[in-house]
Chains A and B, each alone.
Chain A
Amino acid sequence: MSETIAFKPESLAQVHKIIARYPESRQKSALIPVLHLAQKEFDGWLAVPVMDYVAELLSITPIEVYEVATFYSMFNMKPVGKYVLEVCRTGPCMLNGSDHILDHIRTKLNIKDGETSADGLFTLKPAECLGACGYAPMMQLGKFFHEHLTTQKVDEIIDLCRQGAIDLD
């Protein structure tokens, strides 16, 4: 199956642009940015053949890619829903009610932390401080932060997701 994995031409151009930011023979530096691209393009997670493809692109060994992919929390090592709700639960967010927001989502979608809803749409991923502590509680959805969350606001966001009407990128 690995021959079927390939970046779209515009992403491949992006890969080359990224590699050019680093000195010659230091193309390994492009690994994390390229993994971000790969995760976006190949269903939101990093399957082994995808990581092998990235290794080949950067002329490094697959193990160098696995090592890095498993270290960083933004890379998903198993399939996720279309909408990954990353809700911050660290101290400052907790002070402003993030536990309540998390409970609401767990009940509403009938999922536990790290699980994906039965319809395959939502994954709940509790997160640690995302740098929005003054605008708490908050969650990240795709590229963007949703801040000052209330249960009502969460309901609206989930509805928008179901309608496919939310901006992820």
Chain B
Amino acid sequence: MSKKLLLKNAHIEGIRYFETYRKNGGYEVAEKAFKMKPEEILEEVKASGLRGRGGAGFPTGLKWSFLAKPEGVPRHLVVNADESEPGTFKDRYLMEFLPHLLIEGMLISSYVLGSNVSYIYIRGEYSWIPDILEEAIEEAKAAGFLGKNILGSGFDCEIYIHRGAGAYICGEETALLESLEGKRGNPRLKPPFPAVKGLWERPTVVNNVESIAAIVPIIDISGAEYAKIGVGKSTGTKLISACGNINKPGVYEIDMTITVEEFIYSEEYCGGIPNGKKLKACIPGGSSVPIVPANLLLRTINGEPRYMNYESLADGGFATGTMMGSGGFIVLDEDQCVVNHTMTIARFYNHESCGQCTPCREGTGWMYKILKKIEKGEGKMEDIDLLWDIQRKIEGNTICPLGDAAAWPVAAAIRHFRDEFEWHINNPELSQTQNYGLAHYADPIPAVAK
């Protein structure tokens, strides 16, 4: 069994409410934190090795230490609950079932950062969750854990919820800040970084929901103890939202020492592939990370088992590896069509491009159009090279990383599944009624199907 830090109390009936949360040790870590100096807490967070859980994996303690503190200028913590990367639904789980864990984490983090007013920017479609969070905030306030002079410390803190309105790009931190200012979600040019000029030009820290929730167990057990869980630079536990063709989709907490094979096939996690089908491919970290065929998912190119952590998933770079990303784990079985799947992902990025940069705005549109054509059996062989060219021209040439996020899935699909694209083009009619199946890249799949 993986160690559970975030979800250890998730099964307790009524844990969503203050009384039950408190009875099970809730807010005791906040009490401990308020006896510490903010700098001491920051040192614990640094020692924990916690890496941002929003996708980029930037060390949280380091990010916090960059926060500018000009005299007389308010600072803000903004929690990123935009969660819109296809395959990702872990923050939703935390907010729905453990709202007080997020609030306790925000309280401690706000205290460290000196944020008297902190915000949760939540994607608009999660439209029933603000009610849950607001109720929890009211409860915490009534109990003296939010509001004025918290625990007699002289520190004041308010938390407000801000709903977005359906734009993936607002998960990018500077677009999020624009949106919070009541504007279109157009990412800003950096520098200046939010740590210097963020929300309303004030120093701001933007962190993912899961990163902020993780502050609670870190201060509970100490940064050093947290760092002992996991392996190498992948410390602590990570939430994985698993979906696609698996028996038990859902949100799992793993300690980053388990293998990918165990994650997919064991009863504790995904429970294998439905109907005894074979594993074809996987996108282990949300739609923007490279898709890998089964053989490269389960083993690295050197034949070593692949583990569910940042380093192991990335082993081999983009040539043979992939990324941990946001932990949105998408599984494709042998009956799925990689061309069709890639087309939906390309459509997604085209739909979500903010339109500021030409390579992203135009390139995502072209990629979607060409993929749609191939999927419909109307593609030409040159289209594959054209797709490759377009994604190359987007990558690295844009204001924000959405351009890369749109380019990588297309590149990886062509890199590993080129024969499937060619088959679609060579079999315009057959490809409309049949799928390509596993073909050669399924070999050598290790004998894992249980």
Q: Does B84 lie within 8 Å of A33, measured CB to CB?
A: no
Asked if A73 is at the interface of the complex by the 8 Å CB criterion, the answer is yes
Interface residue from B117, B125, B243 paired with A130 (Cβ < 8 Å)? B125
Contact of B163 among A26, A33, A58, A71 (CB under 8 A): A33
Interface 0/1 of A115-135, CB less than 8 Å to B: 000000000000111111111
List residues of chain B with CB within 8 A of the CB of A35. 165
Contact indicator per residue, chain B 192-232, by CB within 8 Å of chain A (1) or not (0): 00000000100000000000000000000000000000000
Taking CB atoms, residues of chain B closer than 8 Å to A71 are 167, 184-185, 354
CB distance from A83 to the nearest CB of B (A): 15
Are A28 and B182 also in contact (CB < 8 A) when A36-B124, A95-B330 are? yes
Q: Which of B6-14, B139-147, B336-344 interfaces with chain A?
A: B336-344
Tell whether B160 is near chain A: CB-to-CB under 8 Å. Answer: yes
Q: B244 near A95 (CB under 8 angstroms)?
A: yes
Q: What residues of chain B lie closer than 8 Å to A140, measured between beta carbons?
A: 125
| A21 close to B (CB within 8 Å) | yes
Residues 164-179 of chain B: 1 if any A CB is under 8 Å from the residue's CB, otherwise 0?
1111100000000001
A32 touching B352, Cβ below 8 Å? no
The one of B85, B241, B283 in contact with A134, judged by C-beta atoms closer than 8 angstroms, is: B241
Q: Is B272 an interface residue (CB 8 A)?
A: no
CB-CB under 8 A from B287, the residues of chain A are 90-91, 129
- Contact indicator per residue, chain B 329-362, by CB within 8 Å of chain A (1) or not (0): 0101000100011001101100110100000000
B166 touching A74, Cβ below 8 Å: yes
Interface membership of A75, Cβ < 8 A: yes
B126 at the interface (CB under 8 A from A): yes
**Residues of A contacting B344 with CB < 8 Å?**
89-91, 94
B332 to A95, Cβ gap below 8 A? yes
Q: Indicate if B180 sits at the interface (CB-CB under 8 A).
A: yes
Is B115 interfacial (CB 8 A cutoff)?
A: no
How far does the Cβ of B46 sit from chain A's closest Cβ, in whole Å? 31
* Beta-carbon contacts under 8 Å, A37-60 to B: 58, 60
Whether B336 and A95, one on each chain, are in contact in the complex, defined by CB atoms closer than 8 angstroms, is yes
Q: Please tell me the size bucket of the interface on A.
A: 35 or more
B372 interfacial contact with A, CB 8 Å:
no
Interface residue A9 (Cβ < 8 Å from any Cβ of B): no
Establish whether residues A129 and B348, one from each chain, have CB atoms under 8 Å apart when the complex forms: yes
| Chain B residues whose CB sits within 8 angstroms of the CB of A131 once the complex forms | 83-84, 88-89, 92, 123, 125-126
B374: chain A residues within 8 A (beta carbon): none
A73-B123 CB under 8 A given contacts A89-B344, A92-B86, A131-B83: no
Q: Indicate which residue in B84, B181, B245, B336 contacts A29 across the interface (CB closer than 8 Å).
A: B181
CB distance from B18 to the nearest CB of A (A): 22
B250 in contact (CB, < 8 A):
yes
Chain B residues 69 to 87 lying within 8 A of chain A, measured CB to CB, are 74, 83-87
Shortest Cβ gap from B83 to chain A (Å): 5
- In chain A, what residue has the closest Cβ to B335? A95
Does any Cβ of A come within 8 Å of B400's Cβ? no
CB pair A128–B348 under 8 Å, yes or no, is yes
Q: Are A91 and B341 in contact (CB under 8 A)?
A: yes
Report Cα–Cα, A73/B180, bound state, in Å. Answer: 16
Chain B residue at smallest Cβ distance from A23 = B200
In the bound complex, CA of A60 to CA of B330 (Å)? 43
**B165: which A residues are within 8 A, CB to CB?**
32, 35-36, 72-75
Are the CB atoms of B163 and A94 closer together than 8 Å?
Answer: no
Flag if B182 contacts A94 (CB, 8 Å): no
Return the 6 tightest CB-CB contacts between A and B, nearest first.
A72-B165, A134-B249, A31-B182, A74-B166, A73-B166, A28-B182
Q: A residues within 8 Å of B by Cβ?
A: 21, 23, 26, 28-33, 35-36, 58, 60, 64, 67-68, 71-75, 89-92, 94-96, 127-136, 140, 143-144
Q: What are 30 A-B residue pairs whose CB atoms fall within 8 Å in the complex?
A: A23-B74, A32-B164, A33-B162, A36-B124, A68-B182, A71-B184, A73-B165, A90-B347, A91-B287, A92-B243, A94-B340, A94-B344, A95-B336, A127-B125, A128-B86, A128-B348, A128-B351, A129-B168, A130-B125, A131-B83, A131-B84, A131-B92, A131-B123, A132-B92, A133-B86, A133-B88, A133-B328, A133-B330, A134-B242, A144-B128
Having A32-B124, A95-B341, one finds 19 other A-B pairs with CB under 8 Å, namely A29-B181, A31-B182, A36-B124, A68-B183, A72-B164, A72-B166, A72-B167, A95-B243, A95-B330, A96-B244, A130-B125, A131-B83, A131-B123, A132-B89, A133-B241, A134-B241, A134-B249, A135-B249, A143-B127
